[in-house]
Each structure stands twice: as C-alpha cells, then as structure tokens.
Amino acid sequence: MQITIVAVGKVRESFVEEGLNMYRSRLAPYHSLSFVNLPEERIPARISPKQKAAIMEAEWCRFPGTGPRPAVTVALDPGGVVLSSEEFASRMKRYELEGRGSVAFLIGGPLGLPDTVRERADFVLSLSPMTFPHQLVRLILIEQIYRAACINRNIPYHK
C-alpha cells in the first residue's frame, strides 16, 4: 500500500528527521511511504479568527494539486476518533483487504486543519487529546503506522 504523509511546514529538528528515516526504512518491506510538505504561512503575533481560517485555507489550497486523490484520506485532528494501536492496525488492514491502494494522512500546521479538509477526509483521527508540536506528530504517526504493520503481520515489535 502507498502511504503519503502530507504536512504543513518542514521538519526542522534533526532528531525528528532521523526518526522519520529510521521508521521509513523499517516500513519499506511493507508499505511504500512518501512525504509531501506544504509551505507554511506566516502567522502574525495577534490573529483574529478570520485571519486564522484564511491562513489555514491558504496552506491547504495547494493540496489537491499534489497528485491523484488517494483512495483514503485520514485527517489528524484533536477532535477526531481516538483509536488504540490494535484498532488502528485493524483499520489499516481493512484498507488493504478492501484493495484501497493508497492512504494519505493529513497533518496541519500550528493552527491545525481547516474545516474544509476535515470535512472532505474519509476519517478524522486523533493521536491523543494532548497537544503535540506538529513536527513531532509526523514521528508519532509513522511509528504507529509501523506498529500497525507489525501487529498485522504478527511481528513481535508490539508489546
């Protein structure tokens, strides 16, 4: 299955990049993985709700042009559904068994995802009710994708 992680902004921390590369190589036997980084808009110090919405829309207006629409889009949002690792693995397995060849995970920037992106997504997932830096979300997500692959293949990584 082709997995794409679409995120606003670049990874700036070397330790995050190292972790992403490690899990990318671990996932290689099971899934094809790619990253799409959308440009991050400048956020003023004082921001109105209208400005916030406009900035989030500006960041995501480029997404439809990044290639063909994936079979499944999963938006990451704190208000989404919280799944255990086993439940997440089951969902990923179901996507594979249904013949859905690609999954795109959508990660917002510091302001989050616009309503239009969440509404168009096939599923809205919450990694936790806690707030994480959006760069770390990539690493947490890719680790959970790897964990799901191990659970689904009975590889003893998950304990």
Which tops the pLDDT comparison, 131 or 85? Answer: 85
Quickly state the pLDDT bin for 64 (edges 50, 70, 90): low
Q: At what angle do helices 14-27 and 134-152 cross, to 10 degrees?
A: 20
Is the pLDDT assigned to residue 66 strictly greater than 60? no
pLDDT of 63 reads 72
Q: Which residue range is the domain that position 130 belongs to?
A: 2-152
Mean pLDDT for the chain overall? 89
What is the CATH classification number for the domain harbouring 112? 3.40.1280.10
What are the backbone angles phi and psi of residue 62, rounded to the nearest 5°? -85, -15
**157 within some domain:** no
Read off the pLDDT of each residue in 120-140 and give the average, rounded to a whole number. 92
What are the backbone angles phi and psi of residue 108, rounded to the nearest 5°? -75, 175
Could you tell me which of 7, 120, 78, 38 has the C-alpha nearest to residue 16?
7
Q: Point out the least confidently predicted range of 54-58, 95-99, 101-105, 113-117.
A: 54-58
Hey, what are 77's tokens? 């949002």
**121 within some domain:** yes
- Please tell me the total count of domains within the chain: 1
Quickly state the pLDDT bin for 159 (edges 50, 70, 90): low
**158 within some domain:** no
Q: What is the pTM of this model?
A: 0.90
pLDDT of 112 reads 87
pLDDT of 57 reads 83
pLDDT of 39 reads 84
**108 within some domain:** yes
**113-124 burial, b for 16+ CB within 10 Å, e for fewer?**
bbeebbeebebb
pLDDT of 67 reads 56
